[in-house]
């Protein structure tokens, strides 16, 4: 079913011209970890058991996180405030190296409203306007990256993954303003969402380039982008 969803997403983007006209900046050795639906491309040879991994946005697919744990003995700090995701993790993930924090990331510390998906069978909530489900919005706790790192006692992050349904744009700006630069950034951009658009994604990518990131992988769906800090 997830493979079918992925193919449909690719077709829709081609029809509606949601493809961002970006190309990789550098060519490096890479590996893809995780399922077709939930996997990510990282720099090959960049992970060990000492690697600090933050994984924002759990949903119901932690195949990438589990692959990091099983292949490299890495500890993954995962974050998701969505009740359905929290319940799913508790029922399906037993790895001690997978540490779930029941709050989300934003550009501030506090609480925020999450709008549910239009399809009740889906799980991903968003901070973006969703008029058809706004009346069922939930309030969840969020923290900014600097606060999270302080709470966890980390002075750097090696790999930071974000699939946070439209909040990534503000988080990237907050991260840059705070002077926090993870070695690798894995970001799913949501330019397909109403009111967002490809220009916002292109602007965010350019801001990352300006502070020293190089784009090294773009997914087939044109939504997942992998960056490496090169300066």
Spans of all domains in the chain: 28-229
3-state secondary structure of 43: strand
CA of 226: how far to CAs of 23, 51, 73, 75, 98, in Å?
11, 17, 22, 20, 22
pLDDT value at residue 12: 47
144 within 8 A of 160, measured Cβ to Cβ: no
CB atoms inside a 10 Å sphere around CB 131: 9
188 within 8 A of 205, measured Cβ to Cβ: no
Region 28-229: CATH code: 3.40.50.150
Give the pairing type, strands 110-114 and 40-43: unpaired
Is 30 buried (19+), middle (13-18) or exposed (0-12) by CB count in 10 A?
middle
pLDDT means per 10 residues, the chain with 231 residues, are: 51 50 93 95 97 96 97 97 94 97 96 74 60 71 97 98 92 98 96 86 97 96 95 82
Q: DSSP assignment, residue 44? A: T
Give the pairing type, strands 75-79 and 98-101: parallel
pTM value > 0.85: yes
Q: How far is CA 40 from the centre of its chain?
A: 10
172 within 8 A of 203, measured Cβ to Cβ: no
C-alpha to C-alpha distance for 200 and 172, rounded to whole angstroms: 12
Q: DSSP assignment, residue 113? A: E
24 within 8 A of 218, measured Cβ to Cβ: yes
C-alpha to C-alpha distance for 205 and 215, rounded to whole angstroms: 8
37 within 8 A of 3, measured Cβ to Cβ: yes
pLDDT value at residue 195: 79
H helix or E strand, kind and range, residue 189: none
Dihedral, 200, 206, 212, 217 alpha carbons, nearest 10 = 80
pLDDT value at residue 118: 66
3-state secondary structure of 66: helix
Pair of tokens at residue 80? 């998701």
pLDDT value at residue 123: 59
Interior CA angle at 113 toward 112 and 119, to 5°?
Answer: 145
């Amino acid at each position: 079913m997830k493979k079918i969803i992925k193919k449909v997403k690719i077709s829709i983007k081609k029809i509606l011209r949601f493809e961002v006209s970006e190309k990789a900046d550098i060519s490096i050795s890479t590996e893809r970890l995780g399922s077709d639906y939930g996997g990510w491309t990282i720099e090959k040879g960049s992970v060990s058991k000492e690697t600090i991994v933050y994984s924002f946005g759990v949903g119901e697919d932690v195949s990438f996180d589990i692959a990091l744990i099983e292949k490299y003995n890495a500890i993954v700090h995962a974050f998701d405030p969505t009740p359905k995701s929290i319940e799913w993790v508790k029922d399906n993930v037993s790895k001690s190296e997978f540490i779930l924090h029941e709050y989300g990331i934003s550009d501030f510390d506090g609480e925020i409203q999450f709008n549910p998906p239009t399809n009740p069978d889906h799980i991903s909530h968003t901070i973006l306007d969703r008029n058809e489900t706004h009346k069922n919005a939930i309030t969840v706790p969020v923290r900014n990256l600097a606060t999270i790192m302080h709470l966890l006692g980390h002075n750097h992050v090696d790999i930071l993954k974000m699939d946070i349904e439209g909040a990534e744009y503000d988080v990237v700006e907050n991260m840059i303003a705070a002077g926090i630069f993870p070695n690798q950034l894995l970001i799913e951009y949501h330019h397909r969402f109403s009111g967002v658009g490809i220009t916002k994604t292109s602007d965010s990518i350019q801001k990352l380039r300006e502070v020293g990131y190089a784009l090294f992988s773009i997914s087939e769906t044109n939504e997942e982008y992998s960056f490496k800090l090169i300066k």
